[in-house]
Amino acid sequence: MPFKTLDDMDLDGKVVLTRVDINVPVEDGRVTDTTRIDRIVPTISDLRAKGAKVVLLAHFGRPKGQVVPEMSLRQVVPALSDALGVEVGFADGKYGDAVGSMKDRDVLLFENVRFNPGEEKDDIDFARRLAAIGDVYCNDAFSAAHRAHATTHALAKLLPACAGRSMAAELTALEAALGTPKPPVAAVVGGAKVSSKLDLLGNLVTKVQHLIIGGGMANTFLAANGVDVAKSLCEHDLLDTAREIVAKAEAAGCAILLPRDVVVAEEFRADPPTQVVKAENVPAGHMILDAGPDSVGHIKTVLDGCATLVWNGPLGAFEMTPFDAATVAAARHAATLTKAGKLISVAGGGDTVSALNHAGVADDFTYISTAGGAFLEWMEGKELPGVAALSE
């Protein structure tokens, strides 16, 4: 996956159109979580250090090609300026004039690109108008790379293009996890439903040696094996599909790990009466809400023998105690192996990031992707238009 980075470009005095993701939560006109802003600081700082004029292109919400005042990026400027330690300019029109008055190392944010109907249509004319006021294109928004939009795809074909620091780190980590990984490779896939991750499971069984299935989707695989899962969340209409995935895994030499024992309760709430039972012995009227200690021990043993781990989704209903136990224990073990230099661990997806933060190990994994859809589509083996455009 060849792509250029900031280090491959002559940026001194150049106008660098930089696609970023600062689609951050805002309440009463104030940014409440700066995580996505913090992620782009290294790229903008390096661009400024190299003498560039930095023009930021970003979306906010889904205005569907209309000007929606509540979705203006103007409200993000104060948080952006604070994070960068420099005053950030804002342009909501006459972009050519605004760029023309920039000095080297200035930072200018354009208004929400999705206010223009050409953005989501990947309109080449909109991209050309932007390209006419820039010298170099830099994409630092992996989380938007799965969308073929004008500022993630068409624009990259019109100017010398490179990846920003966050994008480059993401692509390098993903390549290490599934592109050309060090085997053996394990994947943890959890979540509520098999139906939402069919493409993901189908791709992973051809790429990894161990597929660890948890969460509600494990119940569907258990049921496909003839297990009575009682009141557990289960997609009974997908049992044949689950069997097909198992058969594909067997043909590819991929071992699927399902829970050996489970934590069950009669109701889904925090701290109800629970039991640990073998997976095939779920009592009537009960539901599976987490993997049991024997299952966790099995997962730890598998991870001990692996060199690479990719993780998407929790092993149980981790939002409520005590059903976070399996996810926390497995995540902490993976983190320990990673810190010891024995495991390359890459994780991503909204629930996954929350679960690893909950376990207190988010900083100990090799890489954690904050991209939702883009990370999932990459795990599914799909080409991401924003990435493909950079490598062409």
pLDDT recorded at residue 373: 85
CATH number at residue 35: 3.40.50.1260
The residue segments making up the domain with residue 257 are 181-379
Instruction: Answer yes or no: are the C-beta atoms of 25 and 31 closer than 8 Å.
Output: yes
Candidates 36, 39, 53, 207; catalytic one: 36
pLDDT tens digits, 189-205: 998 899 989 999 999 99
Residue 188's Cβ-count burial label (10 Å; 0-12, 13-18, 19+) is buried
pLDDT recorded at residue 2: 83
The pTM of the whole model exceeds 0.85:
yes
Residue the block writes with tokens 């509540």: 70
DSSP state at residue 361: -
- If asked whether residues 75 and 206 sit together in one domain, one would say no
- If asked whether residues 56 and 129 sit together in one domain, one would say yes
Binding-site annotation, residues for (2R)-3-phosphoglycerate:
36, 114, 147
Q: Is 350 considered catalytic here?
A: yes
Domain-embedded: residue 197: yes
Q: Is 373 considered catalytic here?
A: yes
More confident residue, 345 or 93: 345
pLDDT tens digits, 2-48: 899 999 999 999 999 999 999 999 999 899 999 899 999 999 999 99
- If asked whether residues 97 and 135 sit together in one domain, one would say yes
Domain-embedded: residue 134: yes
Chain centroid to Cα 336, Å, comes to 22
pLDDT recorded at residue 1: 62
- If asked whether residues 276 and 333 sit together in one domain, one would say yes
- Distance, in Å, from the CA atom of 80 to the CA atom of 75, rounded to the nearest integer, reads 10
Candidates 65, 89, 350, 372; catalytic one: 350
Q: What are phi and psi of 342, to 5 degrees?
A: -100, -10
pLDDT tens digits, 82-121: 999 999 999 998 999 999 999 999 999 999 999 999 999 9
Q: How open is the CA angle 107-172-22, to the nearest 5 degrees?
A: 35
Q: Is 36 considered catalytic here?
A: yes
What is the average pLDDT score of the chain? 95
pLDDT recorded at residue 275: 97
Binding-site annotation, residues for substrate:
21-23, 36, 59-62, 114, 147
